[in-house]
Structure 1
């Protein structure tokens, strides 16, 4: 039982809802715009995202552990490698398993997204030009999505593992913006509709920035220890004072972009319901400036992210 607890602890369950935000929001928007919803896509995209997030958390635990970034001076929750709760060899095996599971889940997701088009392709063989064009377009996108899962797996591992992990040179924020915002929201929207919604980029950046804010609090909390051991996160590079200003932008800009998106896609006043989050966001920012209980504010930032997703989605449905 203790070993099972150790693995559940290493999964860092609190972070998993963040991986679902883009998927949930894209599902809401797809249904509200075109009445398109596929439960299989929702299920398998959610499973894939959760597996990738767990993979990332385990890789982060392993990478920081072997580099001694996680140590007795760390402020955040203890990590399993550093605490000898899980051995290095066990963690390596877990990384391999979750990489494989992520790939398999993603391939099942692609099957449910493209299977109707493949059936249509099969029965449209009479017109060879249409057949070729249709087959070519769909196959290109399938190949892109397959390449995409390899990039996601590689990025999840490379964040803290290897000789030059990008999380140690201030690129973690950019990675979160891309994967939790652009790929999660726009990519999953494509799996439903097989078209790109370029207006949706406004919400991609909004959701991405809100998720980066969670990482930023984590990095502000660990700034002294990271600086000491050579992990150059954004707060380490720009300093704590500027990191708080940066955090303010990460929390405020999403509301501006979301308002613009609702304005250009306006259907009802309910689309603005997410604005209710401005009050807790301002309180959160006030606490960031006036105290250093970053662990508490980390939880608040996660809740704001989740509520933003739900309120934005519900607003479009209503």
Structure 2
């Protein structure tokens, strides 16, 4: 039986900035519109965190039963390393999805019920990323899903439930956060190209190849900072997002240096921290400019 420490590692804590960051930016955008509601922001954060952890366990389960994780380079996988049974990990995933669904329903009840459609789509997207008979994560669509759900839906949804309206700065923030979240997945799949190729997992990195994946990673990260600069047309405070540039540059250098395998693992942490720092800076900047 897996230990509590192994369950925590299996939840992939390094990916949690991808859940926290959209809420920070979405809340900042709501404050920019004079619509900040603290308890709705906390509910949105709860939804984002439970869905992120749930999808991590779901991926662990689905990849594990397919044998994709048996020879992976990265952090612990519960099913692949056989420290937990597939059933246990699947139960953990659906428990997280259930908690997220309950929090989401409460949030929708305080705002607009049509948001349930976005919530249901998020749950389906979380499971069928690597689950089901034809997982779209095995068909080079993982980055599209991350951009949509951890960028557009998460940021704009957080803004709307608080301010009940949107602005172009919120859209720019959603695109920028989605871009960095995509870069995180690109780095992860770049590391796994050798094992994914052998097991038939056709990620975008496998399709593009290592060289193009490295360029895509750099372009996605740079795009986020370009959008922060564009948002400065509305309020110069958005330039606070530039506090993340040193971390971003460090990760880009590693990726473009032809690093492979374990050498790319620090990039995952660096990209996650880049996204979190960027979101803190941009969120505060939008709030101050409101």
Aligned residue number for residue 100 of structure 2: 102
What are structure 1's unaligned runs of at least 5 residues?
115-140
1:85-164 pair list within 5 angstroms: 85-111=83-109, 113-114=110-111, 141-142=112-113, 144-164=114-134
**Contact 1:288–1:297 under 8 Å retained in 2:** yes
SS at match of 2:279: helix
State the match for 1:249 in structure 2: 219
CA deviation string 1:75-113 (max 9, x = no partner): 1112100111111122232233222222111112223x3
Partner in structure 1 of residue 56 of structure 2? 57
User: Which residue number in structure 2 is paired with residue 28 of structure 1?
Assistant: 28
* Aligned twin of 2:242: 275
Q: Structure 2: 5+ residue runs without aligned partners?
A: none
* Larger mean Cα displacement after TM superposition, 235-244 or 289-298: 289-298
Return the index of the structure with the highest Cα Rg.
1
Question: Is the contact made by 1:212 and 1:250 (CA closer than 8 Å) also made in structure 2?
Answer: yes
Query: Contact 2:26–2:170 (CA<8 Å) still a contact in 1?
Result: no
Alignment check: 8 A CA contact 2:240 2:285 kept: yes
Could you list the runs of 4 or more consecutive aligned residues of structure 1 that deviate by over 4 angstroms after TM superposition?
A: none
Alpha-carbon deviation of 1:162? 1.3
Structure 1 residue 212 displacement after superposition = 0.6
The two structures, once aligned, show a CA RMSD in angstroms of 1.7
CA deviation vs aligned residue, 1:260-313 (integer Å, no higher than 9, x gap): 1221x12xx433222343343223212212233110111111111000001112
After superposition, give the CA deviation of every residue in 1:112-146 in whole Å (9 maximum; x if it has no partner). x33xxxxxxxxxxxxxxxxxxxxxxxxxx41x211
Given the alignment of the two structures, is residue 181 of structure 1 paired with residue 180 of structure 2, yes or no? no
Kindly tell me the number of residue pairs found equivalent between the two proteins: 285
Q: 1:49 deviation in Å? A: 0.9
Change (3 A) 1:2 1:315: same
Change (3 A) 1:2 1:57: closer
2:255 aligned with 1:288: yes
The aligned residue for residue 239 of structure 1 is 209
Contact 2:28–2:286 (CA under 8 A) maintained in structure 1: yes
CA deviations 1:63-82 (Å, max 9, x no partner) are 110111101x3111121001
